[in-house]
Amino acid sequence: MAMHFKEYRWLVGSDLYRYTGLFNARIFVRHFLRNPGFKYSFWMRTCFYFHQNKIFRHSLFFPARLILDHYAYKYGISIPFSTRIESGLYLPHFGGIVVNRQSIIGKNCTILQGVTIGQASRGKKRGYPIIGNNVYISAGAKVIGKVTIGNNTVLGANCVITSDVPDKAIVATTPATVISYEGSEGYTDRTDYQPFPDAACESTSSIT
């Protein structure tokens, strides 16, 4: 099903809101011009929207894809446009961010620099991560293989996660160990944006 423009606009707005707590034309222009994380997510969302709509797929999609590729090299962010990522993506620092296109990322995910969300190619955990809602992924953290990261969790700096993480867990060290169940409140700010009015459309399912 093609993405509607209203959903596209809402997704872009939800991402911007995570940076500022606001969504208006002045804020959009400022962050579009000066904020690497938002600039990347904007073109990522735009490529997805163009690819999902036949009217744009053979016209505007290609130049948008070139722009996204340019920023991928410039900022060191490799998140394919086809990755399933729900609303409120927040990339406060750029550099060394790698996400496998088959991964699934929930609402209000914060991804810091040096993070890898990647595939395991063999073994019991062969597959791709599923990241829940309101997850804070600290600098240098690695999430590898078919694992599920619960809602409202914090993944500590430089930890390596190869097994499931329960809701509200804070994990640290390598191998990753649960150190508390205080959740991500205070880490994942500005999540009170207006929900999309049509709940049936509130999903950025990956391209088939």
pLDDT band, residue 1 (cuts 50/70/90): low
Per CATH, domain 96-184 is 2.160.10.10: yes
Asked, as a colleague might, if the bond just before 63 is cis with ω within 30 of 0, I would say: no
> Which CA distances in Å does 47 have to 102, 116, 188?
17, 22, 26
Residue of 177, 142, 175, 136 whose CA lies nearest to 158: 142
pLDDT at 174: 83
Residue of 60, 51, 122, 107 whose CA lies nearest to 80: 51
pLDDT band, residue 208 (cuts 50/70/90): very low
Q: What tokens appear for 132 in the block?
A: 């829940």
pLDDT at residue 199 greater than cutoff 80: no
124-178: pLDDT as tens digits: 999 999 999 999 999 999 999 999 999 999 999 999 999 999 999 999 988 889 9
| Range 168-176, long-range pairs (CB < 8 A, 24+ positions) | none
Q: Answer yes or no: are the C-beta atoms of 142 and 115 closer than 8 Å.
A: yes
Output the average pLDDT for the chain.
Answer: 92
pLDDT at 176: 87
52-82: pLDDT as tens digits: 999 999 999 999 999 999 999 999 999 999 9
pLDDT at residue 204 greater than cutoff 80: no
Averaged pLDDT for residues 30-50? 97
Q: For the chain, which residues make up each domain, given as ranges?
A: 1-79, 96-184
Averaged pLDDT for residues 26-50? 96
